[in-house]
Chains A and B, each alone.
Chain A
Amino acid sequence: MGWAIALHGGAGDIPRSLPPERRIPREAALRHCLDIGVVALKANKHPLDVVELVVRELENIPNYNAGRGSVLTTAGTVEMEACIMDGKTKKCGAVSGLTTVVNPISLARLVMEKTSHIYLAFDGAEAFAREQGVETVDPSHFITQENIERLNQAKEANRVQIDYTQPIQKEVKAETHIADGDSQIGTVGCVAVDNHGNLATATSTGGLVNKMVGRIGDTPIIGSGTYANRLCAVSATGKGEEIIRGTVARDVAALMEFKGLSLKEAAAYVVEESTPKGNVGLVAVSATGEVTMAFNTTGMFRACATEDGYTEIGIWPSPQT
């Protein structure tokens, strides 16, 4: 037993040749967010507060695809979504289609705590944000030059891009009608457990580059991108459409419950057996303080720590796994 925390900044076809100027700030951000989370757990903050705190931090960092730094829709706009869930009570909150809310994850938490609903979207979510007095800004705040370039590249290559860490090669083949990015990334998330077995998960994203306006991904779908119950807390990343049909986050918990798999085994099963390669990554913690970070993509920006001193920060598969 003991506390544990894991966070991710997206799974995808992250090339090993990622230049230092793109890699180093992202690693530093992971370290920074992990530290924030660990300090909070050590101070006995409830995991729900911890995951919200960490994801807010990730949303504020423009290098990750959430909050500021969100990828753009085909119309050049930002539409953010987020979701939070408490394991013990299974209370949850989700938002989609946000354009002015600085921290979508916090709005998701307000939906959970201040309404009788679970999920609010678009205009209704924005109106709720104003009622609640959360911080809102002009939509341009979220848009970065990098993402404008990514959108332009995606449009030129005429497809939905899931990995935004690398420019699309110009000689890429024409898009088939199924968006099939050669890399998947985006979405940030955090899971945490304290030493009372309280579990929580939070996920936040700008979605897919060049996505259709109004497209909703896996992040706000309970059981797909986000899920927590008494056994574990899970946050997934990757190709949203695959995560939805694979009900990824729920399946990790279901395998533990119904097949008696351990957290690690369940996560490994989901990324290795139940979902197509190159599409999915997740982080998860169990009620007994275990942690796992699994992915079937080239890499996943991730970090974790447990009370007994284990720490890992990485992008590509670790040599020991």
Chain B
Amino acid sequence: MGGWAIAVHGGAGVDPNLPTHTQEEAKILLTRCLNIGISALRSNLPAIDVVELVVKELETDPLFNSGRGSALTTKGTVEMEASIMDGPKRRCGSVSGVTTVKNPISLARFVMEKSPHSYLAFSGAEEFARQQGVETVENDYFITEENVGMLKLAKEGNSILFDYRVPIESCSAGAAATDSPLQMNGLPISIYAPETVGCVAVDSQGRCAAATSTGGLMNKMTCRIGCTPTIGAGTYACDLCGVSCTGEGEAIIRGTLAREVAAVMEYKGLNLQQAVDFVINERLDQGFAGLIAVSKNGEVACRFNTKGTFRGRWLGACATGDQYMLAGIWN
């Protein structure tokens, strides 16, 4: 085996009532990003560059919850976070509380490569961004009208909205806080669909990398940090594999999900698919999540879990060097 592989995702737990046209837009965007990644891999760009490139693209498009189009905090502002990890030496970089940097994933990469640290946040991260001369904009660049509307609904429903693209009224699977809400961590949650974006890739030299980026939970407390910048939870890469997770942040942190995939490969000798299955089946006792992963052998795996009778969907796309790519919304 061997050869390159790549996977990209934009969220877990989409409500079945998600309008078809939005599903179509998501598929088109994911396919486009996947193609960008595939071209890059074919021209022998290292995996670390590929994952950054693809996630930048996803951040720039307002459709998903990252960069432009990020979910809003309870104050109506955007606070973005991202992390990136390079398998070969397990170098990593994370940022949180980013408010003006156009591409948080690129800032995370700068942290990894140009700072003595692994993780910078809030004013320190913003200051570093200016020192590095990365592209910055006003915070309202990231705010979309749609999200302003969704925040309003979330506040009215007094809940943290995971999927902000489906208005509460039309949701069938979950419920607003007024009738028996789906509970998670004691909080009524209307719909699951965090739409964090991520990309994992392995290049033809067997080097794995992973990158994840998000605006976080709609209506989150300001300065709340989730799983996305947390190495070992939302993002992880080592010699064996690269993993990126999306879903209920708190569950992903408790389950150290991304590291878990690598740990069972390393310590139990499972292959990639077995590891991914194990983690999704056994390590998410509460909480909804999806993950994408690649192995140094050029394999790719994607899984998400469903909670009880709630049938979730998951938006992702993947391809390998010797298989035609597939993009879709998985049930």
Whether A116 is near chain B, meaning CB under 8 Å from some CB there, is yes
Residue of B nearest to A177 (CB): B116
Interface size on A, residues (CB 8 A): 47
Q: Residues 175-193 of chain A: 1 if any B CB is under 8 Å from the residue's CB, otherwise 0?
A: 0011100000000000000
Residues of B within 8 A of A94 (CB): 225
A245 touches B231 (CB 8 A): yes
Write the nearest CB–CB distance from B288 to chain A, whole angstroms. 14
Pick the contact of A214 from B121, B225, B231 — CB < 8 Å?
B121
Whether A61 is near chain B, meaning CB under 8 Å from some CB there, is no
Whether B221 is near chain A, meaning CB under 8 Å from some CB there, is yes
| Stretch of B58-66, B123-131, B136-144, B165-173 with 4 or more beta carbons under 8 angstroms from chain A | B123-131
Whether B115 is near chain A, meaning CB under 8 Å from some CB there, is yes
Pick the contact of A227 from B184, B226, B256 — CB < 8 Å?
B256
Whether A316 is near chain B, meaning CB under 8 Å from some CB there, is no
B221 touches A250 (CB 8 A): no
Whether A212 is near chain B, meaning CB under 8 Å from some CB there, is yes
A215 touches B119 (CB 8 A): yes
Residues of B within 8 A of A250 (CB): 232, 256, 259, 263
Whether A66 is near chain B, meaning CB under 8 Å from some CB there, is no
Whether B307 is near chain A, meaning CB under 8 Å from some CB there, is no
| Stretch of B88-96, B148-156, B318-326 with 4 or more beta carbons under 8 angstroms from chain A | B88-96
A122 and B119 CA atoms in complex are apart in Å by 14
Write the nearest CB–CB distance from A188 to chain B, whole angstroms. 20
Whether B21 is near chain A, meaning CB under 8 Å from some CB there, is no
| Of listed A120, A123, A128, A216, residue having the most chain B CB within 10 A | A216
Write the nearest CB–CB distance from A80 to chain B, whole angstroms. 14
A216 and B123 CA atoms in complex are apart in Å by 12
| Stretch of A5-13, A254-262, A280-288 with 4 or more beta carbons under 8 angstroms from chain B | A254-262
B223 touches A122 (CB 8 A): yes
Write the nearest CB–CB distance from A243 to chain B, whole angstroms. 9
A160 and B250 CA atoms in complex are apart in Å by 32
A214 and B131 CA atoms in complex are apart in Å by 14
Write the nearest CB–CB distance from B44 to chain A, whole angstroms. 26
A251 touches B263 (CB 8 A): yes
A258 touches B268 (CB 8 A): yes
B225 touches A120 (CB 8 A): yes
Whether A103 is near chain B, meaning CB under 8 Å from some CB there, is no
Whether A155 is near chain B, meaning CB under 8 Å from some CB there, is no
A127 and B220 CA atoms in complex are apart in Å by 14
- Residues of B that sit less than 8 Å from A by CB: 90-92, 94, 96-97, 114-125, 127-128, 160, 184-187, 220-226, 230-233, 236, 249-250, 253-256, 259-260, 263-264, 267-268
- Residues of A that sit less than 8 Å from B by CB: 90-92, 94, 96-97, 115-125, 127-128, 160, 177-179, 211-217, 221-224, 227, 240-241, 244-247, 250-251, 254-255, 258-259
Sample (30) of A-B pairs whose CB atoms are under 8 Å apart: A90-B254, A91-B254, A97-B122, A120-B225, A122-B121, A123-B222, A125-B223, A211-B117, A212-B120, A213-B123, A213-B124, A214-B122, A214-B125, A214-B128, A215-B124, A216-B96, A216-B120, A217-B117, A221-B230, A221-B231, A222-B256, A223-B232, A223-B233, A223-B259, A245-B118, A246-B90, A247-B232, A250-B232, A251-B263, A258-B263
